[in-house]
Amino acid sequence: MLRIALKDLFARKRRLVTTAVAIALGIAFLTGTQLLSGILSDSIKSLVGDTYDGIDAVVRSSKVQQVGFGNEIRTPVPEGLAAEVAQVEGVRASSGIVETITAQLVGKDGKIVGSSFGPPTIVYNWVEDPQLRFGTLRDGRGPETDSEIALDFGSAKDGGYQIGDTVTVASQTQTEQFTLVGLTGLGKDGKDSGGAKSLQFTTPVAQRIGQIPGEFSYVVAAADPGLSQQDLTNAISAALPGEQVVTGERFSTENQESISQFVDILGTFVSVFGYIAIFVACFIIYNTFSIIVAQRTRETALLRAVGARRRQVLGATLLEAVVIGLVSSVLGLIFGALLGTGLAKAFSSSFTVKGGIPPIGVGTVVLAFVIGVGVTVVSAVGPALRSTRVPPIAALSEVSVDRSDVSRSRLVWGVAMLVLGGVLMGLGLSDVGPNPLVEVGAAALLILVSVALVLGPLIAAPMARVLAVPFAAGGRIAGRLAGENAARNPKRTAATAAALTIGVTLVTVIAILAASLKSSIDSTISSSLKADLVVNTTTFSIGAGIPANIADQVATTPGVKIASPVRFGPVRLTDAAGKRHARENPETPSLTGGLAGAADTAPPGEDKFMLGIDPATFFEVLNLGALEGSPSEMAPGTFATTKKTADDRGWALGDKVPMFFARSGEQELTLTVIAERDIGQSSIYLPMATFEQVVPPGFNIDNAIYVVADSPADVPQVQTALDKLVADLPTIKVQDLQEYAEQQSGPLNTIVLVIYGLLALAIIIALVGIANTLGLSILERTKELGLLRAVGMTKKQLRRSIRQEAGIVAVFGTLLGLVIGIGFSLALSAVITADNPDIFSYRLPVPTLVAITVIGALAGVLAAILPARRAAKLDVLQAISSV
Amino acid sequence: MSTSEQTAFAAAGAVDAVKVYGEGDTEVRALDGVTATFERGKFTAIMGPSGSGKSTLMHCLAGLDRLSTGRVFVGDTYLDDLSEAQLTELRRDKIGFVFQAFNLIPTLSALENVTLPMDLAGRKPDQAWLDQVIDTVGLRPRLTHRPSELSGGQQQRVAVARALASQPDIVFADEPTGNLDSRSGGELLQFMRHAVSDLGQTIVMVTHDPTAAAYADRVVFLADGHIVSEMTEPTAARVLDLMKQLGD
């Protein structure tokens, strides 16, 4: 029996490979991205390890604040602490360190060096002791005067600078020139390029640019020979009980983890699409096995008639699935390794990829085989069980094709699943039930399976005939045959189309949400923003912004009536609602060991972003609806919020609300203004005077300045003047409202494009499925094709008919996907609207949806090219006389 | 005699037709120099034992297969000069087919099957002729049925109607009654006879059944790739006798 199964399998190599390709693509994606994250996080770890090599202990503040993506910011320490650390017994050397993200390097071409999404640019002070210094000096010397700078060699190269050149640095306060005197690198001899871009100045300059005059970010120390890191840490902690002291090892690990966390998020995000691809592939495997089992009915019956037991028949089919699973896994691993290393190369411009190709981890291999074989076998179980129910007598019958009709019970099941899915979706989206995410996911799965596999067959035949109408118009028989062939086996058509449906559903949801968000942003800006112009930051790097002196210069520009600057910063709400939230989402437990002295002192709370505003002008420039309380009362120590936030958190005017800031600690601010709505940026507004005192360095910079002209006629003149003002600042642009809106929705476009790209994989797999099904169906229809050719169908007509058939199936799948996608997007938008009633507006991007349909149809036609060609090549006589 | 003389009365024919399969030791000469013509407006049967070359001759005459050497023609066209695409069009426009089984496209109705070759050509059928053909084979009540809803005899009648519907130069039938019981088979042959006698059609039928051959105007006997005998106005008994003689 085993021999029969294997013989059969290898006799049909093409089918084996095409079936395997579907799963292999998904596996390749999964293992490729795993490999990529592995490569990246290994490189990052080794780079961070090199960076902080030689540091035995770090003395720092215990006040810490999360600022998103695993980053945290600590309160700086007083300058004098460095001297105190130096006095501790066991400390061989120590130094205060300035480490901030408050400046950008401007290249010779006048552009900022590095990309918005790449690693950050970090400002350091030059440390005399090479063991404690960031990186290793490769060339030249360290900065000795306040007009000198050292750069990492990678950034210098990107910026087009050599030693002796005048380097431009855009800090948060001004654009300055320095003379390049040294180049640094990572590793023992400074040969490795660092991930981060480092700008090293003398300590006073670094403190000024870092906006921590008289302070250090932290203090590092090296131990006397023979003293362990832990002993040094304990010694320092004993001498300076108020500070937090950690070992160099722990410090390094913390930094590695915060960067790896970002890489992990990226990896998880991309893996999701790998799993979607595999889910799509499941449909194809299921479908292929259904067809194979149906086509083999006679063969199976014959085996049964000559004495094969049911279990043997089942075993043979499952064995086939196992072999396909194994082949897929191997293919997937090979593709995945190529993909992973290829991507790593592509990434090497922003992350430094160290060393050669790391071996594929055992975990990745196990994952590939478990998923590859598991998914294939699970998909094949249904058809395999069906194959055991073939009665021996079927060997004698003529029919070898699954023509079973779609039943009433199918309708009942389908509707039941649909309703259950709808209810689950409702529960999940309205945040009821134990785990909304799981509910929504399960609901989406139920609805997709119900529509695609259970209800799909009920509508496949009539839909196929309707879709064939344009092809069959004017009595064109090839088109009519295409429609009939797509309709003749509704289950198969539905299952084939389902693979495409999934991809299209997701694309549709993304397209609709993106269009809705974009239009929401546009309409919010046009309805709420009363500014004529916006002086805006065009890079998204943390720490980039508008130098402080610009705001005043804008305000005094002739023709400017109002110039209202806005800043962004992190805040932790430590009120009752925030504490509840913190309990629901406990932070990842921090590392154990390597720490002495004060533990982290951040109180539990909910991390949010806040705006720093000028109360006198902000509410004039931004229309946030009716205000409770008066902006004129927004003195230091007060704040404003929106009605929804106040209602949700139970705040009322005059309440004192506790908030935590890394720089200033926990304090209570008085709620003095409640606005009717926000514009989607943030709903906590602090007067600038307070904001400046509480945010960590790096955030204390204008993000945008809203400008209102004296009269509309003054706008062009003001724009010219402002353009001149920011001409030297490469990251700052003066925008009108339309440009401003475009920039606000710009990142959305990028994200949408990336998601489209990832979903393309699912659609490609669906195409492999269409081609595969079509190939098998054609095999089944060999005799019919022979007859058609005999009575005069030309090869061209035959090819066209098959392409049209595939087009019909593809359009069917695409339309289903569109309908389900629109349904999902409506559900999602209901939830978003509930949270943002004044902002979110639902939009159907009709041209995009039409384009999706056309692409779906064309893709189907593309998938049919090879099967159609193969069908046209059939020898007419052989086809007619085939069994 | 010249080509024009041949084609003046012949609907189709073969001149020195040779068909060789395989090479060397495995060489099989399915047709070994067959020359024959099939008259317009006549019903001709081709008979012979298995492997005599009768099916090969028909396939080559019908443009489904090509000769190794020699020539075949239908109407005034020599098939050997035609490209694959031209052959397809010739089959569609000038030739009708009836196979032993699986004659019909299961997804099309009986009427659609009948008009299939004309639909493929993008031509409108001659309605008067179509009606006549349909009535001749007695299909009127079954026109909207799918093949799976028709009996075997009805299916073959649809196939005959399709073969005649486009008014081809010639209809080739390959064991058309092979899968039918004797009553349905008799009816089908009656229709074919009728189509020749009353509607002026030309039919060439391959069969090994003397009863079926008796419906023809002429019987051509093949053995080992040669024409060995022929008979006009055959009866089942005479055909059977001749077959016995040839068998000896």
- Cα distance between residue A278 and residue A23, in whole Å: 6
Q: Cα torsion at A587, A589, A594, A599 (round to 10°)?
A: 50
In this prediction, residue A191 carries a pLDDT of 67
Contacts 24+ apart (CB under 8 A), A398-402: A399/A297, A400/A294, A400/A295, A400/A296, A400/A297, A400/A298, A400/A780, A401/A294, A401/A295, A401/A489, A401/A780, A402/A290, A402/A291, A402/A294, A402/A489, A402/A491, A402/A492
* Same-domain status, A642 and A550: yes
pLDDT for the residue numbered A526: 85
SS3 A14: helix
Q: In terms of pLDDT, which residue wins out, A194 or A98?
A: A98
* Three-state SS letters, A267-291: HHHHHHHHHHHHHHHHHHHHHHHHH
Could you give the CA distance from residue B70 to residue A221 in angstroms, rounded to a whole number?
Answer: 102
Stretch (H or E) spanning A488 = helix A477-488
Chain A residues inside the 8 Å CB shell of B55: none
A814-858 confidence digits (pLDDT tens): 999 999 899 888 888 887 777 776 677 888 899 989 999 998 888
Mean pLDDT, to the nearest integer, of A139-152? Answer: 93
Min distance A502 CA to chain B CA atoms (Å): 29
**What's the average model confidence in pLDDT over A592-605?**
74
Angle at A342 between CA A339 and CA A346, to 5 degrees: 130
Chain B residue with CA closest to A785: the answer is B105
What integer pLDDT is reported at residue A589 of this predicted model? 46
Element (H, E) at A821: helix A795-835
Q: Establish if B82 touches chain A: CB-CB under 8 angstroms.
A: no
DSSP H helical ranges for A115-247: 153-159, 203-209, 229-239
Which residues in chain A have Cβ-Cβ distances shorter than 8 Å to B107?
481, 484-485, 487-488
Is A173 in contact with A547 (CB distance < 8 Å)? Answer: yes
Residue A853 lies in a domain: yes
- In SS3 terms, chain B reads as CCHHHHHHHEEEEEEEEEEEECCHHHCEEEEEEEEEEEECCCEEEEECCCCCCHHHHHHHHCCCCCCCEEEEEECCEEHHHCCHHHHHHHHHHHEEEECCCCCCCCCCCHHHHHCHHHHHHCCCCCHHHHHHHHHHHCCHHHCCCCHHHCCHHHHHHHHHHHHHHCCCCEEEEECCCCCCCHHHHHHHHHHHHHHHHCCCCCEEEECCCHHHHCCCCEEEEEECCEEEEEEECCCHHHHHHHHHHHHC
What is the pLDDT confidence band of residue A433, given thresholds at 50, 70 and 90? Answer: low
If you ran DSSP here, which 8-state letter would residue A632 be given? G
Percent of chain A with pLDDT over 70: 89
Judging contacts by C-beta atoms under 8 Å, the chain A residues touching residue B97 are 790-791
Owner of token pair 């023709």? A559
Chain A: closest CA distance from residue B84 (Å):
9
Q: CA of B118, closest CA in chain A: separation in Å?
A: 9
What ipTM was estimated for this complex? 0.88
Q: How confident is the model at residue A458 (pLDDT cuts 50, 70, 90)?
A: confident
| Spatial separation of the C-alpha atoms in residues A835 and A642, rounded to whole Å | 12
Q: What is the pLDDT of residue A2?
A: 62
Looking at residue A135, the DSSP 8-state letter turns out to be S
Distance CA A837, CA A9 (A): 59
- Res. A580 pLDDT band, cuts 50 70 90: confident
Q: Are residues A462 and A599 in the same domain?
A: no
Q: Is the pLDDT of residue A67 over 80?
A: no
Which pLDDT band holds residue A441 (cuts at 50, 70, 90)? confident
How many secondary structure helices (H) and strands (E) does chain A include?
26, 27
CB contact under 8 A, A481 and B108: yes
Cα–Cα distance, A636 to A615 (Å, whole number): 10
User: Is there a single domain that holds both residue A614 and residue A692?
Assistant: yes
Q: Do A795 and B97 touch (CB under 8 A)?
A: no
Three-state SS at A847? helix
Mean residue pLDDT of chain A comes to 83
Domain ranges of chain B: 39-66+82-247
Other CB atoms within a 10 A radius of the CB of residue A561 amount to: 15
A396–chain B nearest CA distance, Å: 16
pLDDT tens digits for range A376-416: 888 888 888 877 877 777 666 554 444 555 567 777 888 88
Which chain B residues have a beta carbon less than 8 Å from that of A788? 105, 116
What sign results for the dihedral spanned by CA atoms A836, A839, A842, A845? negative
Among A481, A790, A880, the residue with its CB nearest the CB of B107 is: A481
Residue A871 within any structural domain of the chain: yes
Instruction: Name which of B60, B120, B162, B172 to mutate to probe chain A: the one with the most chain A Cβ atoms within 10 A of its Cβ.
Output: B120
Q: Tell me which residue of A310, A490, A463, A297 sits closest to A406, measured CA to CA.
A: A490
Residue A663 DSSP one-character state: T
Chain A residues touching B120 at Cβ < 8 A: 477-478, 791-794, 797
| Nearest by Cα to B156 from B136, B130, B179, B131 | B179
A88 by DSSP, 3-state: which? coil
Among A711, A534, A714, A738, which Cα is nearest to A622's?
A534
B112 neighbourhood in chain A, CB within 8 Å: 477, 480
Q: Which residue of B has its CA nearest to A784?
A: B105
Contact A488, A496 (CB under 8 A): no
pLDDT band at A106 (very low <50, low <70, confident <90, very high): confident
Q: Report the chain B residue with the minimal C-alpha distance to residue A478.
A: B120
Closest CB from A477, A481, A792 relative to B91? A792
What is the count of structural domains for chain A?
3
Q: Which residues of A touch B108 (CB under 8 A)?
A: 480-481, 484
- Cross-strand partners of A186: A192
| Higher-pLDDT residue of A131, A69 | A131
Position with higher pLDDT, A674 vs A474 = A674
Q: How far is CA A226 from CA A229, A230, A231, in A?
A: 10, 12, 10
Q: What is the pLDDT of residue A178?
A: 95
pLDDT 10s digits, A692-726: 888 877 788 888 999 999 988 889 999 999 999 88
**pLDDT at residue B7, as a whole number:** 46
**pLDDT digit string, tens, across residues B70-107:** 999 998 889 988 988 898 889 999 999 898 888 888 88
Strands (E), A153-204: 166-171, 175-185, 197-201
Residue A210: is its pLDDT beyond 80? yes
Reported as a single tens digit per residue, the pLDDT across B157-198 is 999 999 989 889 999 999 898 888 888 899 899 999 988 998
A224-228, A808-812, A835-839: least confidently modelled range: A835-839
> How many CB atoms sit inside 10 A of residue A323's CB?
18
Query: Domain B39-66+82-247 maps to which CATH number in 3.40.309.10, 3.40.50.300, 3.40.50.40, 3.10.450.50?
Result: 3.40.50.300
d(CA B82, CA B77): 9
Q: Are residues A517 and A543 in the same domain?
A: no
CB neighbourhood size of A865 (10 A) = 14
> Are A102 and A129 within one domain?
yes
Q: How far is CA B15 from the centre of its chain?
A: 18
The answer as to whether A342 is a domain residue is: no
Element containing residue A829 per DSSP (H, E):
helix A795-835
Average pLDDT over residues A746-752: 82
Please, are residues A344 and A353 in contact by the beta-carbon 8 Å criterion?
yes
User: Given an 8 Å threshold on Cβ–Cβ distance, is B162 in contact with A791?
Assistant: yes
Q: Which of A476, A477, A880 sits opposite B99 (nearest CB)?
A: A880
Task: For residue B2, name the pLDDT band (cuts at 50, 70, 90).
Answer: very low
User: Whole-angstrom Cα distance, residue A789 to residue A667?
Assistant: 86
Q: Which helix (H) or strand (E) holds A134?
A: none
- A259 CB neighbour count, 10 Å cutoff: 22
Q: Which of A480, A484, A791 sits opposite B117 (nearest CB)?
A: A791
**pLDDT band of A543, cuts 50, 70, 90:** low
Rounded Cα distance, A221 and A56, in Å: 6
Best mutation site among B86, B90, B91 for testing chain A: the one with the most A CBs within 10 Å? B91
Which is higher by pLDDT, A491 or A347? Answer: A491
Q: Note whether B105 contacts A788, CB cutoff 8 Å.
A: yes
Q: Is the dihedral of CA A843, A847, A848, A852 positive or negative?
A: positive
- CB count in 10 Å sphere of residue A564: 25
Residue A132 has pLDDT above 90, yes or no: no
Tell me which residue range forms the domain holding A827: 457-527+744-883
A149 and A63 in a common domain: yes
Closest-approach residue (CA) in chain B for A482: B107
Label residue A42 by pLDDT band (50, 70, 90). confident
Helix, strand, or coil (residue A608): strand
* DSSP 8-state class, residue A813: H
Residues A710 and A757 in one domain: no
Rounded to whole angstroms, the Cα distance separating A275 from A217 reads 43
The region that residue A591 occupies, defined by phi over 0 for left and psi between -120 and 50 for alpha, beta otherwise, is: beta
Residue B213 has a pLDDT of: 92
Q: Is residue B127 within 8 angstroms of chain A, CB to CB?
A: no
Identify residues of A whose CB sits under 8 angstroms from chain B CBs.
475-478, 480-481, 484-485, 487-488, 783-784, 787-797, 876-877, 880
Which of A471, A484, A791, A883 to mutate to test binding with chain B, by most B CBs within 10 Å of its CB? A791
Cβ proximity of B62 and B163 under 8 Å:
no
Q: Where is the domain boundary, A688, A706, A730?
A: A730
Backbone angles phi, psi at A98, to 5 degrees: -100, 125
The answer on A708 and A839 residing in a single domain is: no
A487 min Cα distance to partner chain B (Å): 9
- Give the DSSP H/E element, type plus range, for residue A468: helix A456-472
Q: Which residues of B touch A481 (CB under 8 A)?
A: 105, 107-108
Percentage with pLDDT > 90 across chain A: 22
Average pLDDT over residues B44-55: 89
Provide mean pLDDT across the span A634-642.
92
